Chains A and B, each alone.
Chain A
């Protein structure tokens, strides 16, 4: 045990698979998908070619007091629901000095629903119909700020933005703050609720989304030969990260340890990953090295794999280059869809649970593995796996690469 080990003492999530961590995890183990046909008027209004998505299984507004919910964009609602679960789970409420508690909650785009709704109201009905809360509701730091307000965090509240890597990047910053002994606890993760007509149209226009409208449950299929794009989802994942010494002093239960963080940037293209996977490999190597481990120690990778034709293979190349072909892989986006700014955090939670329970969830909908992958990917049923260390990686539009190394507690 090192002198400043960082442990995970609380988990919280709301996803397309369930309104909390346990229902989400159980659905992942069962290999079920949260993707369905969207029941939204904007699909017809804009004649969208994509009619599927992964909306939250439980409306976060139903899990908050009405007076609180009505002042929050859906993204902040999801963040707050997940954060309250995690904070409660950590039992940290009266056991930490607020001046040494921080929040880091990332998001890809923040309160886009509010922005679009209020723009339409202003345009159609005039200034008097616009909500005076529009600014705090749309600002991307809103989710982080509301979480900080709810738990009374006074050390700092931060909101990193790196597209699909935001949730993982939040955990990376939390780790650095804790390692430098600036804080004792960081409530960290990501949130996204951007299933709107405009956002879907935008992603569809960029030809990034699956068009498997007739078979939504099977549309998100990481590494499958028939994959044709990702599926947009909503969600939030929050972890309570804590200095090990602080956690042990108050008798807190540790799910796992966050032992290393690696970051890099591709400097290659504004959306496509470097096809050689070299930037991603650097991040993974750095995450293992900063943990003081060897690649051979890493028995499992919880991968980013979004189910796109161009993205899934560079990551496989990167994993093989950085770690070898021995790790057992899973691609959680088959079950979850792509939660954008929340993905990295929800997937980190799944990584923690894999270590804790010795179980790797199957990659949902993976029927025929693309031969270019060249790795051992769990599909069909969960696999028992005893390993001390696991890596989870997240990559965002813009070439942002984050890798996190967890070990058993």
Chain B
């Protein structure tokens, strides 16, 4: 897990699009303002999101991006970047 935060300008357009949609989902479910949701934020440690909310976020992500998240993959979603990477990987 890297510790440096890429500036918004170095994100691809696709990453930005995914991040934006994820931020909407996270804001709706966990009531975290979208502008606080950046790639480096960790769900539990930084955004104070509990396990039930993670299940809801995963479900909404599946619905929004039309993909499936296996239970093992869910367990590895520790940060917003992990979620963006998961969506990118499934699209590839």
Do they bind each other?
yes
- Assess the A128–B63 pair: CB atoms within 8 A: yes
- Assess the A132–B66 pair: CB atoms within 8 A: no
In chain A, positions 262-292 with a C-beta closer than 8 Å to chain B are: none
Instruction: Give the Cβ gap from A383 to chain B, nearest Cβ, in Å.
Output: 50
Q: Which of A66, A71, A128, A131 has the most CB of B within 10 A?
A: A128
- Assess the B55–A128 pair: CB atoms within 8 A: no
- Assess the A128–B31 pair: CB atoms within 8 A: no
**CA A133 to CA B56, docked complex, whole Å:** 8
B59 within 8 A of A: yes
In chain A, positions 282-332 with a C-beta closer than 8 Å to chain B are: none
Instruction: Give the Cβ gap from A133 to chain B, nearest Cβ, in Å.
Output: 7
B64: nearest chain-A partner, CB-CB? A128
Contacts of B55 in A (CB 8 A): 132
Interface string of B49-61 (1 = CB under 8 A from A): 0001001101100
Instruction: Give the Cβ gap from A142 to chain B, nearest Cβ, in Å.
Output: 14
Main secondary structure, interface of A, reads loop
Interface string of A66-103 (1 = CB under 8 A from B): 11000100000000000000000000000000000000
B73 within 8 A of A: no
Instruction: Report the count of interface residues on A (CB-CB < 8 A).
Output: 9
B62 within 8 A of A: yes
Contacts of B63 in A (CB 8 A): 128-129
Instruction: Give the Cβ gap from B66 to chain A, nearest Cβ, in Å.
Output: 7
Contacts of B30 in A (CB 8 A): 67
Interface string of B22-65 (1 = CB under 8 A from A): 00000000110000000000000000000010011011001100
Instruction: Give the Cβ gap from A130 to chain B, nearest Cβ, in Å.
Output: 8
**CA A130 to CA B62, docked complex, whole Å:** 10
A130: nearest chain-B partner, CB-CB? B59
Contacts of A132 in B (CB 8 A): 55-56, 58-59
Which listed residue, B52, B56, B66, touches A128 by the CB 8 Å rule? B66
- Assess the B31–A67 pair: CB atoms within 8 A: yes
A136: nearest chain-B partner, CB-CB? B52
Q: Which of A67, A71, A132 has the most CB of B within 10 A?
A: A132
Instruction: Give the Cβ gap from B75 to chain A, nearest Cβ, in Å.
Output: 15
Interface string of B2-34 (1 = CB under 8 A from A): 000000000000000000000000000011000
B61: nearest chain-A partner, CB-CB? A128
Some 19 contacts from A to B, beta carbons below 8 A apart, are: A66-B31, A67-B30, A67-B31, A71-B52, A128-B59, A128-B62, A128-B63, A128-B66, A128-B68, A129-B63, A130-B59, A131-B56, A131-B59, A132-B55, A132-B56, A132-B58, A132-B59, A133-B52, A133-B56
